[in-house]
Amino acid sequence: MSYSVETRQRLERDAKEIIARYPKPRSALLPLLHLVQSEDGYISQDGIEFCAEQLGITPAQVTGVATFYTMYKRRPVGEYHVGVCINTLCAVMGGDQIWEELSEHLGVGHDEATEDGKVSLERIECNAACDFAPVMTVNWEFFDNMTPEKAKKLVDDLRAGKEVRPTRGPDKLCTWKEASRILAGFPDGRAHEGVQAGPESLRGLEVAKRNGWTAPPADGDGEGPAESGSQEGGDQ
């Protein structure tokens, strides 16, 4: 099913704005894929053909990119897409157990959605938030220091339509389609809400400030922090 005239015109306006940001049109492919995902909820064949037409490349070239990156989905996901980190640190801190219990609780596996279409589940190799392990995401917003019980309550609240607030970031969650539009380069004006970086992420910076440490200059001639001593040891 192709896009309606109204939908296509709207997408073309947005695509024109996206493409204008780049010196070469083809460089706009990644945000364009997020744009069509914000429309369909996944990368549909219509979306692939639309991107190809806008950039003057083939659908096969678009498909090659869309199937390489896991943030682009080739089938519909839930309104709230839940990622559970199972990489090394999160795994040993409880991520594997969270995944197993959450998958059983929802009755879905990797990249599968619940029957009501509210929640889908994904194994994430790394959420780049090891200082808050074990970590989960919902539509790419962070939920830190999770447990199986907290994870199950989170998805139950999402399915019940309750308001859920991420540990860091905006004051409330957006939907999967809304998140995809933000990633296409159309901000929702809420980037500065909530906690931006938690104490765990800033601890190294605080230690450096207390000890008067600074980064060496680019030429490498500067002196770095002391290799050992009571100050450094006292902060460990």
| Nearest-angstrom CA–CA distance, 166 and 159 | 16
| CB contact at 8 A, 34 and 181 | yes
Length of the chain as a residue count: 236
Angle, CA 177 vertex, CA 68 and CA 113 arms, to 5°? 70
Residue 51 annotated as lining a ligand binding site? no
Within the chain, residue ranges assigned H as helices are 5-19, 29-40, 45-55, 59-66, 88-90, 96-106, 148-159, 176-183, 199-211, 230-234
Q: Measuring CA to CA, which residue among 59, 65, 64 is closest to residue 47?
A: 59
Which H or E element spans position 83?
A: strand 80-85
**End-to-end Cα separation, the chain, in angstroms:** 60
Distance of CA 162 to the CA centre of its chain: 21
Distance of CA 97 to the CA centre of its chain: 22
Token pair for residue 12? 């073309």
Residue 126 annotated as lining a ligand binding site? yes
Strand pairing partners for 119? 80
Strand pairing partners for 123? 84
> Which residues are annotated as part of the binding site?
85, 90, 126, 130
Annotated binding site for [2Fe-2S] cluster: 85, 90, 126, 130
